[in-house]
């Protein structure tokens, strides 16, 4: 079987198991590997082909996190081929790549307010984006989780909403402040105006985009796309003159940092942030809780 046919079948099969963004990531990593192989038959791919590809990835300066994604995608493809009875290389021979250790990129309060200040007050997309950014800041949720919210998930009176955790398919509450209620209510009112004259299949989607033009000129609407939401944050950050490290995940890291600084333990941080593994919360308590500093000064003095 030609490599191209194998990855197309793999992507179609994987669609039933994981989110579209994950499939997209696997697919393009595998496309690059296929270009390197000149579309060799999947049965003829060897361990040497894989290690050579990862070597050249390293040669061109790709980070450990990128090489890890490349290796995982190749391994997943080979596992699929074996499952389908295709005689291919053993998945366990794909090297295990360690990610680079990097310090969490943490947003700060002043950057958040600077970003809000440059967003125009009018325009349905700006009103929507202000509500998205405010929820990210208040809740520490992942961007995909915010985009997946429905109108029925929002409890404005109690300043909270229910969110489906991306990592383990469970549910949790996230909370927001009074200022964010203003942004949400303004957006919900604008959303209703849009849907008075446009159609949408996903009728309960909280954050929507107009398809085919600006509000009043489009033909229908749909739930916001996560990639477009990420690009929106990058565009606003550039307009505000912020560092490229300001994004949805740096807002999430800020949330974890503040929780740790205020004394929240790993269990509380894990619940509020929707971590699948409590060890994921340790990065915040280890770096930002100040517990070790207090112990040190308690023993050695100021």
**Same-domain pairing of 156 and 188:** yes
Q: What is the pLDDT of residues 238-288, one digit of tens each?
A: 999 997 778 999 999 999 999 999 999 999 999 999 988 888 898 899 888
Cβ 95 vs Cβ 50: under 8 Å: yes
Domain total in the chain: 2
Residue 101, domain member (yes or no): no
Q: What is the pLDDT of residue 98?
A: 76
Q: What is the CATH number of the domain that holds 179?
A: 1.10.443.10
**Same-domain pairing of 183 and 259:** yes
Cβ 183 vs Cβ 130: under 8 Å: yes
Q: What is the pLDDT of residues 72-102, one digit of tens each?
A: 999 999 999 999 999 999 999 999 887 666 6
Burial code (b: 16+ CB inside 10 Å, e: under 16) for 273-292 equals bbbeeeebbbbbbebbbeee
- What does the CA dihedral 11, 26, 15, 133 come to, rounded to 10 degrees? -150
**Same-domain pairing of 161 and 81:** no
Domain-ending residue, one of 36, 61, 93: 93
**Same-domain pairing of 128 and 242:** yes
Domain-ending residue, one of 61, 93, 125: 93
Residue 302, domain member (yes or no): no
**Same-domain pairing of 43 and 124:** no
Q: What is the pLDDT of residues 152-202, one digit of tens each?
A: 999 999 999 998 866 656 789 999 999 999 999 999 999 999 998 888 889
Q: What is the pLDDT of residue 48?
A: 94
**Same-domain pairing of 187 and 226:** yes
Strands annotated E in the chain: 154-155, 160-164, 171-175, 199-200, 208-211, 220-223
* Residues 248, 144: Cα–Cα separation, whole Å: 10
Q: What is the pLDDT of residue 277?
A: 83
Cβ 207 vs Cβ 128: under 8 Å: yes
Domain-ending residue, one of 69, 93, 117: 93
**Same-domain pairing of 279 and 149:** yes
Domain with 114, as residue range(s), is 109-288
Residue 265, domain member (yes or no): yes
Nearest to 167 by CA among 133, 195, 200, 141: 141
Residue 301, domain member (yes or no): no
Residue 148, domain member (yes or no): yes
Residue 295, domain member (yes or no): no
Q: pTM for the whole thing? A: 0.71
Q: What is the pLDDT of residue 213?
A: 57
Of residues 49 and 104, more confidently modeled:
49
**Same-domain pairing of 82 and 145:** no
Cβ 162 vs Cβ 173: under 8 Å: yes
Residue 37, domain member (yes or no): yes
Find the mean pLDDT for residues 224-244: 90
* Residues 24, 155: Cα–Cα separation, whole Å: 33
**Same-domain pairing of 60 and 148:** no
């Amino acid at each position: 079987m030609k490599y191209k046919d194998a990855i197309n079948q793999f992507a179609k099969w994987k669609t039933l198991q994981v989110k579209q963004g994950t499939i997209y990531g696997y697919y393009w990593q595998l496309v690059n590997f296929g270009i390197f192989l000149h579309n060799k038959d999947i049965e003829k791919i060897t361990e040497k082909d894989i290690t050579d590809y990862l070597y050249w990835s390293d040669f061109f300066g790709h980070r450990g996190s990128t090489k890890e994604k490349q290796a995982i995608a190749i391994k997943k493809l080979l596992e699929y081929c074996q499952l389908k009875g295709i005689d291919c290389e053993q998945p366990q021979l794909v090297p295990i790549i360690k990610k680079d250790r990097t310090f969490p990129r943490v947003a700060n309060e002043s950057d958040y307010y600077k970003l809000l200040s440059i967003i125009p007050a009018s325009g349905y997309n700006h009103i929507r984006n202000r509500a998205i950014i405010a929820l990210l800041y208040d809740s520490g949720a992942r961007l995909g989780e915010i985009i997946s919210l429905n109108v029925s998930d929002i409890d404005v009176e109690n300043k909270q909403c229910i969110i489906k955790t991306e990592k383990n398919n469970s549910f949790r509450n996230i909370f927001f402040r009074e200022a964010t209620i203003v942004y949400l209510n303004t957006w919900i009112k604008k959303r209703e105006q849009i849907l008075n004259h446009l159609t949408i299949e996903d009728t309960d989607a909280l954050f929507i985009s107009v398809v085919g033009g600006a509000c009043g000129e489009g033909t229908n609407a749909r739930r916001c796309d996560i990639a477009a939401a990420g690009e929106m944050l990058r565009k606003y950050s550039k307009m505000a003159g912020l560092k490229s490290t300001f994004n949805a995940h740096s807002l999430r890291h800020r949330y974890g940092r503040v929780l740790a600084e205020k004394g929240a333990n790993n269990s509380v941080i894990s619940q509020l942030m929707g971590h699948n593994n409590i060890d994921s919360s340790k990065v915040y308590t280890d770096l930002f809780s100040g517990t070790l500093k207090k112990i040190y000064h308690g023993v050695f003095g100021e």
